[in-house]
Amino acid sequence: MSMAFSTHKQHQHLPNLCGATAAPPPTPSAQPNHQTVTSSAAADALSNLLHRLPPTLSLPKRRSSTSATSPPPPTLSFSDPNFNHLLLSSGSELGFLQLTNHDIPSQLANSAETESLSLFELTRDQKESCFPKNWPLGFDADDDDEEEEDGDGKGESFCLDTECSTETTTDLSLTSLREFTRALEKLGLKIIDKLADAMGFDNSIGEDPTRFRSLMWISEGFHGDHDKPSGGFYPYVIGLQYQIRCQKYSLLKDSGSVSVSPQVDSIMVTLGDIAQVWSNGKLSKVRGRPMACLGDGNKSRLVSMSLLVTLPCNSRVTPLLPEVVGEEGTGDEDDESQVCGSKEEQEKRLFNSFSFEDYAWRVYNECYLFNDPLDKYRI
């Protein structure tokens, strides 16, 4: 029997079972009547221990230390006449899928990967001067893992805008990466538009580019280093990742992590926390970006390029509910009570409205491997 506990909270409530000051149990040889401990006695001892735990102890959802194997991601194609229905079904049940028959050529993806790899060949000074930190844009590194014996830094990542802008004039060429980023953004907005249509939202939601902000997140993978993504979590509506080669990825769900192996040349699509709030909880979500599962001893280099369609920092996040204006509305734009209607007409709101910037900063800088950061805003 095993239980997963949040190491930063729950451990302080547990009794000290193996500390140095605890008196050791009597050895069997010291007892006058030596008997083998039966499984029944062990079960009774465990039961007594569990009953001694504080009644207010809150256990998180069980999250296995090893990823559970998931069925292959559902496959969708824009040519399917039932695309909207299948998109909504996959989004509600899983929160991820693989898209085929898209218009992004594999040659462009490979060229973009080559240019992305060149970013990690720069010196530390070049990385910081070409891509200064302007959160969330720029170069980022986990300083705890920065210096390695082989000279490579672990946990390094680059977050770029759709123009793949740099601050200094260098010989660095990012032409293919820029084209690749724009192509993924265009595809992502199209998927958002179809998802909004399937859910009965404003069908032009994906046609307004000023409503969204796209970020290209590039990180380099290392063998045995897939417990958390470099660069931290960042909230998003939808994420897209082109599958250049056969590669297994770990996706962090609310119930734990699952492993998926999308087919080559497909685009893995994940729905994020903002999509879940917009849908008022109807859509499932994937926390953070997909993490490459690199087996221990695998020395090959791997760059992950994830396009996140997210929101401008000054946005507010709120469920997109059908507006039924009743007589009690005040007319104030900031007063959510203006959308009141009758209980039969108005869908019950499951999330409070919140600032995207505040939420993004909290999610990026704090660890949420066990707890859902959206719990704070649930009604």
DSSP string, 98-140: EEES-S--HHHHHHHHHHHHHHTTS-HHHHHHHS--BTTBEEE
Give the lowest-confidence range in 63-77, 88-102, 117-131: 63-77
Beta bridge mates, 227: none
In a domain, 201, yes or no: yes
In a domain, 17, yes or no: no
Per-residue b/e over 17-56, b at no fewer than 16 CB within 10 Å? eeeeeeeeeeeeeeeeeeeeeeeeeeeeeeeeeeeeeeee
- The percentage of the chain sitting over the pLDDT mark of 70, rounded to a whole number, equals 63
What backbone torsions phi and psi does residue 275 show, to the nearest 5 degrees? -60, -35
CA end-to-end span of the chain, whole Å?
A: 34
* Domain containing residue 195: 75-140+155-322+350-377
Residue type, position 314, single letter:
N
In a domain, 3, yes or no: no
Q: Which has the higher per-residue pLDDT, 76 or 68?
A: 76
pLDDT at 32: 47
pLDDT at 98: 95
pLDDT at 202: 65
Confidence of residue 236 (pLDDT cuts 50, 70, 90): very high
pLDDT at 264: 93
In a domain, 47, yes or no: no
Cα(236)–Cα(273) distance, integer angstroms: 6
In a domain, 41, yes or no: no
Overall average pLDDT of the 92-102 stretch: 94
Confidence of residue 207 (pLDDT cuts 50, 70, 90): low
32-36, 46-50, 88-92, 155-159 — most confident range:
88-92
pLDDT at 250: 87
Q: Is the dihedral angle over the CA atoms 65, 66, 68, 70 positive or is it negative? A: positive
Domain of 294: which CATH number? 2.60.120.330
Model confidence pLDDT, tens digit, residues 103-153: 999 999 999 999 999 999 999 999 999 988 889 999 998 765 444 444 344
In a domain, 251, yes or no: yes
Contact status, residue 101 vs residue 79, Cβ threshold 8 Å: yes
From edge to edge, which strands make up the β-sheet containing 238-242? Answer: 75-77, 96-100, 267-271, 238-242, 302-310, 213-221, 157-160, 138-140
Q: Which has the higher per-residue pLDDT, 295 or 168?
A: 168
Q: Which has the higher per-residue pLDDT, 207 or 379?
A: 379
Cα(238)–Cα(269) distance, integer angstroms: 7
pLDDT at 90: 94
**Mean pLDDT score across all residues of the chain:** 76
Residue type, position 116, single letter:
S
pLDDT at 66: 43
The set of residues, in sequence order, having a beta carbon less than 8 Å from that of 49 and lying 6+ positions away, is none
Model confidence pLDDT, tens digit, residues 290-331: 888 765 555 566 789 999 999 999 999 999 876 554 544 444
Confidence of residue 71 (pLDDT cuts 50, 70, 90): low
pLDDT at 329: 45
pLDDT at 177: 97
pLDDT at 212: 94
pLDDT at 10: 41
Overall average pLDDT of the 55-73 stretch: 49
pLDDT at 367: 73
Looking at the 3D structure of the chain, how many domains does it have? 1
Confidence of residue 168 (pLDDT cuts 50, 70, 90): confident
pLDDT at 181: 97
pLDDT at 186: 95
- At residue 89, the 3 state secondary structure works out as helix
pLDDT at 119: 94
In a domain, 38, yes or no: no
pLDDT at 136: 92
* pLDDT beyond 80 at 221: no
195: number of Cβ within 10 Å: 24
Single pTM value for the model: 0.73
In a domain, 293, yes or no: yes
Overall average pLDDT of the 71-84 stretch: 87
